[in-house]
Structure 1
């Protein structure tokens, strides 16, 4: 069956307009894809054009505030934890979804689950898929690679020259060494970065979180997780993520994809999409492989 892609500007709680899209069967399980820091929702094109996902899921994606086609407030308070939770809820409500699964990429997105659980409780979402990401913002210093640390000052710099010099390196670091990023995608990835106001780049990564409600939810068996990482990730050390999860949370379903970097959904969409469907089936209680 063919499903038309729907897009709209959704007004969040504080009036910020959030660009969002949806495709698939509205009666199926909803899954909300959230992009990472200095990225945009179009990065998930290889999911939104996958017939297996489109026919079995109701997929939603949106540009996080400050990014892409969404509004970009320039006050630090606009990027607080509660704002991210409210944006997610506003988008979900706009498309009529109930109890969605969150799929988050990179430093910015996987941690939105902590924002949501702190704001609305663990029953608001059905589960979480980490795509090269991690569950709590506080983890980042301990699991980031040395290469990520060298890029961070330039990415947060308000100096245009310093920022522009680090952009190509950051985009390439999102993929495994030797991975050939199509030229049009490379240009689009860099374009999103160059469009970001320096205030957004700085404030986006500065918010604080209360991670305790999320930890309690996971340990209480109320929020299933799956982590999908690339073994050749140059920004996040997946072995450290796995070790942190085991030490602090216990066993979490964890997949390391060989030959893949920080963007498993982009570099290895067939493998990643199959794991997404398998996880949805697992939390829904049916075989979706």
Structure 2
């Protein structure tokens, strides 16, 4: 089974360019992959051509504003919650998605909060948090991150000099995975993952980490039964999965937790087969629930 990805450069409501891609059969359930901080959607290259996934779902991915091949404005006003929701809407309209499952990683976990706050309660069929942060406010953030993450982020926001800024970005990306063999393909992948971080100035980093979110609409949707999968590795160096699960359990009426033993901050890369199996089970559960809900009225 082979599909040729469709690659688009879109324009959001404020004119910011949004790099987006689609692959698969649109008649199948749709999932949207959302990457993490300092990264871009290239981190999902392996998933985007995974045959076992493409048999069951179609996929979209896009670079968040402030990252990768999307626009990286310097103005803080360009990082409002409503604009992140508009970016998502722009991608959905282009690819004609209806109620997808959002599969979010790390910082990307904050995007459902923007979607629910600005677009209403019936936009998503489910949410997957891969080592993710459901919103950028206490008690989830910054308490859900490790001291290593705090140090790296602070140095990126307010670097004492250029060398420290570059070291902080490299340390942060290297902490995501254990890059075992720097002479192999893993080294090339490491450089590919690291490169987008250097497009961001300290001002952009501050914009990304200090933007305001209101989690109430998100939490209301979760209390009303939106299916949620919390998935994280127990060897994560950057976030505290137990803390985030504990905080979110009180709000989620339908939450599943999957702990990936020995995995770090990028379990979709480190344990791809286990990850894909878990995602497909969740997609089946979320789609079944959606059908049952639709026939109940």
Normalising by structure 2, we get a TM-score of 0.91
Helix, strand or coil: the match of 2:98?
coil
Distance, in Å, in 2 between the alignment partners of 1:42 and 1:25 is: 21
Cα deviation, residue 131, structure 1: 0.8
2:42–2:193: 8 Å Cα contact kept in structure 1?
no
Write the distance in 1 (CA, Å) between the matches of 2:133 and 2:266: 13
User: Residues 200-258 of structure 1, C-alpha deviation per residue, up to 9 Å, x if partnerless?
Assistant: 2110111111111111111111x111011011011111111121122444662111101
Equivalent in the alignment of 2:285: 282
Matched residues in 2 for 1:145 and 1:99: separation? 34
Question: Shift in Å at residue 134 of structure 1?
Answer: 2.7
Q: 1:58 Cα shift?
A: 1.2
State the TM-score, normalized to the length of structure 1.
0.93
State how far apart, in whole Å, the 2-side matches of 1:18 and 1:146 are.
Answer: 32
Q: Gaps spanning 5+ residues in structure 2: where?
A: 290-297
Distance 1:55 1:7 in 2: 20
CA shift for structure 1 position 98: 0.9
- Aligned to 1:111, the other structure's residue is in SS state helix
**Alignment partners' CA distance in 1, 2:54 and 2:141:** 32
1:255 equivalenced with 2:253 (yes/no): no
Q: Which residue of 1 aligns with 2:64?
A: 64
Match for residue 122 of structure 1?
A: 121
2:189 to 185, 188, 193: 185
What is the root-mean-square deviation in Å for CA atoms of aligned residues?
Answer: 1.6
Cα distance in 2 between the residues matched to 1:155 and 1:51: 38
Summarize the alignment of residues 45-64 of structure 1 with structure 2, pairs less than 5 Å apart: 45-64=45-64
Cα deviation, residue 178, structure 1:
6.9
Kindly indicate whether residue 125 of structure 2 is the aligned counterpart of residue 137 of structure 1. no
Q: Secondary structure at the match of 1:37?
A: coil
Q: Distance in 1 between matches of 2:274 and 2:157?
A: 33
Instruction: Quote the Cα distance in structure 1 between the aligned partners of 2:67 and 2:254.
Output: 34
Shift in CA distance, 198/150, structure 1 to aligned 2, threshold 3 Å: closer
Please list every run of 5 or more consecutive structure 1 residues that lacks an aligned counterpart in the other structure: none
- What is residue 213 of structure 1 aligned with on the other side? 217
CA contact (8 A) 2:9 2:17 kept: yes
**1:10–1:90 CA contact under 8 A, matched in 2:** yes
**Structure 1 residue aligned with 2:241:** 238
Distance 2:9 2:42 in 1: 15
Cα offset, 1:179, TM superposition: 5.4
Matched, 1:170 2:175: no
Aligned length: 283
SS of 1:18 mapped into structure 2: strand
**2:179 & 2:268 partners in 1: Cα distance?**
17
- The residue that corresponds to 1:38 in the other structure is 38
Q: Which residue of 2 aligns with 1:194?
A: 198
* CA offset digits 1:58-102 (Å, max 9, x no partner): 100011112111111110010111111000110111111111111
Distance 1:72 1:201 in 2: 10
Matched with 1:267 is: 270
Quickly say closer, same or farther: Cα 1:251–1:26, change in 2 above 3 A.
Answer: closer
- CA distance in 2: counterparts of 1:142 and 1:149, whole angstroms: 9
Cα distance in 2, alignment partners of residues 206 and 245 from structure 1: 21
Contact 1:145 1:236 in 2 (8 A): yes
